[in-house]
């Protein structure tokens, strides 16, 4: 009989460990481990493409909040000249792509439900327009945004 109680207790412990340990491990990986693999001082920007309305947003759009809320279009994203920028790109609904034409970056495919990373250095001041390169919806033309790179002293912008 004691052998059975030991097995039941270990099974309960295993279930509790999975229920609490897995979310804690995923939180640690997403919040701590992923961010430490970039060079120190990097600017990390999360952008999610949403075909409905044709927007890039910095809000997290996943699961039920895709249907319950309307994400806000990201405004101009400020950067400082010399920043190393890490873009974490996501698609909330279907295949999108991302490009910054003036830097000749992309187009990079961003499949639905996946995160794609892209890195660049903001070496010159000016406006960097980014957009979706893949025709994805009737609002495809609205899937654009801008990085505003503030000039270092004495530099000329693009």
Q: Does the predicted TM-score (pTM) go above 0.85?
A: no
Q: What is the CATH number of the domain that holds 90?
A: 2.60.40.420
Query: What pLDDT score does 64 carry?
Result: 67
Q: Is residue 33 domain-shared with residue 46, that is, in the same domain?
A: no
- Give me the half-sphere count of Cα atoms (radius 13 Å) on the Cβ side of residue 148: 6
Query: What pLDDT score does 154 carry?
Result: 59
* 129-154 pLDDT per residue, tens: 998 888 877 777 778 899 999 987 65
Task: Report CA-CA distances (Å) from 98 to 104, 110, 113, 131, 132.
Answer: 11, 7, 15, 6, 5
Query: What pLDDT score does 40 carry?
Result: 79
Q: Is residue 120 domain-shared with residue 56, that is, in the same domain?
A: yes
* 31-90 pLDDT per residue, tens: 666 656 777 778 889 998 888 888 888 888 877 666 677 888 888 999 999 889 999 999
Q: Is residue 81 domain-shared with residue 133, that is, in the same domain?
A: yes
**Domain interval for residue 121:** 41-150
Overall number of domains in the chain: 2
Has residue 158 got a pLDDT over 70?
no
Which tops the pLDDT comparison, 27 or 93? Answer: 93
């Amino acid at each position: 009989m004691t052998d059975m109680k030991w097995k039941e207790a270990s099974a309960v412990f295993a279930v509790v460990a999975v229920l609490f340990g897995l979310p804690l491990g995923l939180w640690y990986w997403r919040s701590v481990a992923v961010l430490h693999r970039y060079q120190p001082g990097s600017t990390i920007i999360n952008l999610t493409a949403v075909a409905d309305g044709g927007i890039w947003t910095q809000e997290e759009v996943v699961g039920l909040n895709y249907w319950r809320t309307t994400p806000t279009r990201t405004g101009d994203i400020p950067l400082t000249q010399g920043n190393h920028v890490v873009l974490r790109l996501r698609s909330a609904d279907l295949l999108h792509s991302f490009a910054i034409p003036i830097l000749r970056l992309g187009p990079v495919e961003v499949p639905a439900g996946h995160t794609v990373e892209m890195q660049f250095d903001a070496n010159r001041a000016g406006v960097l327009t980014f957009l979706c390169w893949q025709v994805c919806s009737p609002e495809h033309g609205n899937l654009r945004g801008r990085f505003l790179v503030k000039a270092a002293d004495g530099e000329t912008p693009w």
